[in-house]
Amino acid sequence: MSDREQRIRERAYEIWEREGRPQGREAEHWARAAGEIAAETEGEPEAVSAAGSEAKTRSDGTAAPEKPARRSRAVPKREGGEKRR
Q: Could you report the per-residue pLDDT of 35-68, keeping only the tens digit for each?
A: 999 999 886 555 444 444 444 555 555 555 555 5
55 by Cβ neighbours in 10 Å (0-12 / 13-18 / 19+) ranks as buried
Q: Measured between alpha carbons, how far is 74 from 66 in angstroms, rounded to an integer? A: 24
Q: What does the DSSP assignment read for 28-81?
A: HHHHHHHHHHHHHTTTSPPPBPTTSSBP-B-TTSPBPPPPPPPPP-PPPBPTTS
What pLDDT score was predicted for residue 54?
Answer: 45
Single pTM value for the model:
0.49
pLDDT tens digit sequence for 7-41: 999 999 999 999 999 999 999 999 999 999 999 98
What pLDDT score was predicted for residue 61?
Answer: 56
Confidence of residue 82 (pLDDT cuts 50, 70, 90): low
Residue 84 has pLDDT above 90, yes or no: no
The closest alpha carbon to 55, from 41, 42, 75, 36, belongs to 36
